[in-house]
């Protein structure tokens, strides 16, 4: 222990130094300072713990689920929580609600990850091109963005799903098509600020073309703002996916999607409250966790925004 403690202290001093000796040390020190700031936010840590738990539940669903989520038992339908080995009760077909919630976490993460990859990527591309090119290109791209922003997200998603057809993949595509405009606006605003800086002027003098400037120098500077926005938007994505599932336009039965589970349980909400309440609590918990995590990341990646809020 006498050996490990000085070693630990030396690493801490190396990360906390005010005069880094290399670019790698400076980057590691910035990450460490950011982690210390994030760790000091108890609510953000709570959100992170919930989401890590969700990832573990989804990864180990076959081992954690007490029963098969698709197995029906009509003799044991609508059993209350805690009865006959069903910790959260059963639904109208006798399926174990806890098992369906555990497997449903996979669908939720699948939707969240796909939307988090598609929507910010499209918004970053549109926003940086509009901000860097300017002129009529900027006008056209931003007017298209305004058209998408003029419609409520869920209504526009419903229109896309109605055109594409019901299904989880089409629901992901519809949500992504309605989620990219805010990212485009953020990327454009960042690009307008960055493109007039001395840093970009120096890169141009070195012979860098527009494509290289956008990819190598503007995109990395936009990432932090997009990460914060993505994290805060995930709650809305989960609610949109649950809304589509509730209306029968998302994941199709017998898939254990949380919105579809609520839709099924609404018929029994007065007499058998747990059928709809349990997936509703799951959606609420995960959405809250993403919001808490987003607030913590905003304080780390954009301290001025956190102070203003």
Which residues lie below 8 Å from residue 290, measured CB to CB, with a gap of 6+? 47, 51, 231, 232, 234, 235, 238
Which residue, among 286, 266, 281, has the nearest Cα to 47 in the 3D structure?
A: 286
- pLDDT, tens digit, for every residue of 25-59? 667 777 777 777 888 889 999 999 999 999 999 99
Q: How far apart are CA 251 and CA 248, in angstroms?
A: 7
Q: What tokens does 91 get?
A: 């639904």
- What pLDDT shows up at residue 2? 46
**Residue 51: what pLDDT?**
94
Domain ranges in the chain are 103-308
Report pLDDT for 96: 92
Q: What is the CA radius of gyration of the chain?
A: 24
Report DSSP state, residue 233.
Answer: H
Residue ranges of the chain whose pLDDT lies below 50:
1-6, 306-309
Rounded distance, CA 56 to CA 63, Å? 11
| Nearest one of 47, 80, 112, 114 to 268, comparing CA atoms | 80
Q: What's residue 73's pLDDT?
A: 85
pLDDT of res. 25: 66
What architecture is domain 103-308? Orthogonal Bundle (1.10)
């Amino acid at each position: 222990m006498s050996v490990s403690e000085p070693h630990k202290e030396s690493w801490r001093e190396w990360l906390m130094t005010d005069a880094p000796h290399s670019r790698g040390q400076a980057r590691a020190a910035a990450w460490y300072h950011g982690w210390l700031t994030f760790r000091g936010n108890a609510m953000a840590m709570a959100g992170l713990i919930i989401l890590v738990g969700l990832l573990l539940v989804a990864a180990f669903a076959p081992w954690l689920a007490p029963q098969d989520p698709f197995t029906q038992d009509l003799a044991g339908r609508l059993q209350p929580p805690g009865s006959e080995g069903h910790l959260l009760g059963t639904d109208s077909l006798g399926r174990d609600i806890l098992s369906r919630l555990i497997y449903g976490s996979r669908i939720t993460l699948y939707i969240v990850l796909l939307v988090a990859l598609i929507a910010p990527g499209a918004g970053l591309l549109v926003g940086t091109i509009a901000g860097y090119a300017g002129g009529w290109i900027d006008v056209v791209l931003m007017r298209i963005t305004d058209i998408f922003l003029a419609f409520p997200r869920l209504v526009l998603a419903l229109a896309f799903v109605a055109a594409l057809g019901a299904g989880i993949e089409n629901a992901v595509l519809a949500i992504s098509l309605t989620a990219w405009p805010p990212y485009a606006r953020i990327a454009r605003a960042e690009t307008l600020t960055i493109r007039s800086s001395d840093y970009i002027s120096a890169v141009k003098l070195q012979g860098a073309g527009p494509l290289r400037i956008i990819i190598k120098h503007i995109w990395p500077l936009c990432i932090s703002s997009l990460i914060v926005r993505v994290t805060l938007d995930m709650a809305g994505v989960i609610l949109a996916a649950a809304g589509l599932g509730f209306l029968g336009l998302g994941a199709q039965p017998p898939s254990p999607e949380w919105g579809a589970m609520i839709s099924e349980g609404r018929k029994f909400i007065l007499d058998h409250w747990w059928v709809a309440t349990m997936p509703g609590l799951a959606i609420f918990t995960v959405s809250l966790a993403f919001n808490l995590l987003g607030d913590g990341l905003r304080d780390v990646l954009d301290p001025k925004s956190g102070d203003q809020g």
